[in-house]
Amino acid sequence: MKIWPDQKPYYSANQYYRQIFGDKVYKISLDIGCTCPTRDGTKGIGGCTFCSARGSGDFAIAGPMDIREKINSAIQMVASKIRTNKYIAYLQSFSNTYGPVKLLVPVYEEILSDERVVGLSIGTRPDCLSDAMIKELGRLSKIKPLWIELGLQTIHQKTADLFHRGYDLPVYENAVARLNKFNIPVIVHLIVGLMGETYDDFMATIDYMANQLVSGIKLSMLHILKDSLLYKEYLEKPFPLLDEETYIEWVAEAITRMPEEMVIHRVTGDGNRKNLVAPEWSANKRHVLNGLLHYMAEHGMFQGLNYKKPARVKHSSRTAL
């Protein structure tokens, strides 16, 4: 059984960032006031149905403060718990490349200019990345490390339509290809246990992702939050959610199918407890993580164990005329 230096059976974000920065770093979540095309009427109203009213950035520092004040406030919230002065600013709420390039880029530059911020991770959508924006992101990535986090969630269009994702898989593939041209690392968000999806459906998404040119993935359980559109649907027509044991089994198997060099940034997520309706077990993030590590150790599982490299395509030696 393979174990990484931080004693996990997979390539964790902690290990990844230590390799880059030589020390532990901490993410601070900031809200810079963006929205999404599925919220402002461009592609829909209300956002993806599972998303909270704050665009899944419930813990992000928001409000009328300037950037420096938001960074200070975010650091103050965690300063007593950690021993570091190195932070990655995480633009988590909504879609943070959705807006005029000339207005958003100066915000990124101001964040990166803070000496305590060692990197910038930008959460967004594949359909919110213009060529002009990607070019600017490529420029900024030469100043300090920068990551783009894309909310794909699933490769299955039927499911994507259910939660109103608003774009097709080729849009995601095109965005990743263009980001790769500028050497911008991509982190992809996936949801485990989406409504109507089976084990085989989820593993199809995992096997697809395993051979994508992306830096890492984030895995999270489907949450039912009171301030989401999905809550109303769940009340009207309840659907089964994964129990903790099944979730751990699925995630453990998913990790074994990932190549060893792909970073596993998150293996579980915790929704805002004030709004969390189900599953209640997901609120205890530490318990889920410990359960996953125990399960993988017990079954001799580790990242890369079941990874299948894509078969090489044999090209004809004939030259087209």
For residues 256 and 250, the answer to whether their CB atoms sit within 8 Å is: no
Two structure tokens written together for 26: 């901490």
Two structure tokens written together for 252: 């453990």
Two structure tokens written together for 120: 């910038």
Q: What is the pLDDT of residue 312?
A: 60
For residues 230 and 196, the answer to whether their CB atoms sit within 8 Å is: no
DSSP-assigned letters across all residues of 232-262? HHHHHS------HHHHHHHHHHHHHTS-TTS
> Block means of pLDDT (10 residues each) for the chain, length 321 residues?
96 97 92 94 93 78 86 88 87 95 97 97 98 98 98 97 96 98 98 97 98 96 93 93 97 98 93 86 94 98 94 45 31
Give the residue among 168, 182, 175, 174 at the shortest CA–CA distance from 149.
Answer: 175
**Position 54: which residue type?**
R
In 180-215, which positions are buried (b, 16+ CB within 10 angstroms) versus exposed (e)? eeeebbbbbbbbbbbbebeeebbeebbbebbebebb
Q: What is the pLDDT of residue 129?
A: 98
What domains does the chain contain, in order, with CATH numbers? Answer: 13-298 (3.20.20.70)
pTM of the predicted model over 0.75: yes
CA–CA separation, 28 vs 119, rounded Å?
11
Give the residue among 156, 268, 154, 265 at the shortest CA–CA distance from 217.
Answer: 265
* Residue linked to tokens 């299948």: 308
